[in-house]
Structure 1
Amino acid sequence: MTAKQALTHLDEHGAARMVDVGDKPDTAREAIASARVRMQASTLAMIVAQGHPKGDVLAVARIAGIQAAKRTWELIPLCHPLMLTGVSVTLEADESLPGLQIRARCKVSGPTGVEMEALTAASVAALTVYDMCKAVDRGMVVEQIQLETKCGGASGHWQRDASLVR
């Protein structure tokens, strides 16, 4: 394993540690993550028609995702608290699944990236959809939680190669 490939959250003895980013310069950083929730077509129709007795599933899931991004450092050990400059979460109906496609975008100007915040936002938005709709569709599947793209920092730009998706 080269130095670039070394696991940064482990010290020389293999113990977990929080990476010291104190000497790293602030740079503009952005990450986009996605997830999807497969469900029965009737469940998707109920969500789209805003016919759920608990309220607007998409609005609640959007807010949950945004809140999750802001609190990632409290949920994932060794993550740094970040002063996010922007978070957006979109949920789109996809009748071909059937289900919802979720996309979370996080931005920061700081010494460390926002990949975990974007992944957490997409995950929690998907879990919120499941929570709100489980009474009518326990068979829903949360799947394909993944980083789509990230930019900024020393490692520069990275984008998922769509041909490699399994």
Structure 2
Amino acid sequence: MTLTHCDSSGAASMVDIADKPVTTREARAAARVTMSASTLQAIEENGLKKGDVLATARIAGIQAAKKCSDLIPLCHPLALSKVAVEFALDKNANAVNIEAYCKLAGRTGVEMEALTAASVAALTVIDMCKALDMGMVIDGVCLLEKSGGRRGHYVRENT
């Protein structure tokens, strides 16, 4: 298998997508932040001094998806048509589950944008709650699904 971001000499390079067809591209990614039960309760009750944790993390994730090409050197700047970031509180695991969704009509996929959105949303949860809980952990950052493009539809198994 040849990596697409390397030229013939092995140097990193941006992939030329000019001749690729425009198709609808979608991706979903996940992340999880585990924490103490009291921190999760504070998030649920909107009881933090910094404000609404999930609303702030949602906006941060959306902004991150739009800035992905500024953060990851070989990503193309994309005209995203949709970015959504959703949260589910898991009281059994004392965790916030995060799912990000990105969509566009374009020549390259939106997997990195969805992964960046989920990751930055998770980081924002930690930033908003660190005064209560320095032991929070981000894990489970992964691509859940992607569609569009030459490689077709991918769905992560065991999600």
Q: TM-score range by the shorter chain?
A: over 0.9
Offset of 1:92 from its aligned partner?
1.2
Aligned 1:92-103 pairs, distance under 5 A: 92-103=88-99
Letter aligned with residue 49 of structure 2: P
Paired residues for 1:16-27 under 5 Å: 16-27=12-23
Give the Cα separation in 2 of the matches to 1:96 and 1:72. Answer: 33
- With normalisation by structure 1, the TM-score equals 0.94
Amino acid at match of 2:20: K
Q: Distance in 2 between matches of 1:144 and 1:101?
A: 9
CA distance in 2, matches of 1:28, 1:66: 19
Alpha-carbon separation, structure 1, partners of 2:85 and 2:47 = 21
Q: State the alpha-carbon separation in 2 of the partners of residues 80 and 117 from structure 1.
A: 10
Superposition RMSD in Å: 0.7
Match of 2:103 in 1: 107
Please list the CA deviations of residues 84-141 of structure 1 after superposition, one character each: whole Å capped at 9, or x if unmatched: 0000000111012111000000001000000000000000000000011111100000
User: Are 1:123 and 2:119 matched, yes or no?
Assistant: yes
Number of equivalenced pairs: 159
CA distance in 2, matches of 1:65, 1:91: 11
CA distance in 2, matches of 1:99, 1:154: 36
> Which sections of structure 2, spanning at least 5 residues, go unmatched?
none
Q: Does 1:9 align with 2:29?
A: no
CA distance in 1, matches of 2:81, 2:3: 27
Q: Percent identity?
A: 60
The runs of at least 4 consecutive aligned structure 1 residues that moved more than 6 Å come to none
* Number of the residue aligned with 1:77: 73
Query: What TM-score results when the alignment is normalised by the length of structure 2?
Result: 0.99
Matched ranges for 1:140-155 at <5 A: 140-155=136-151
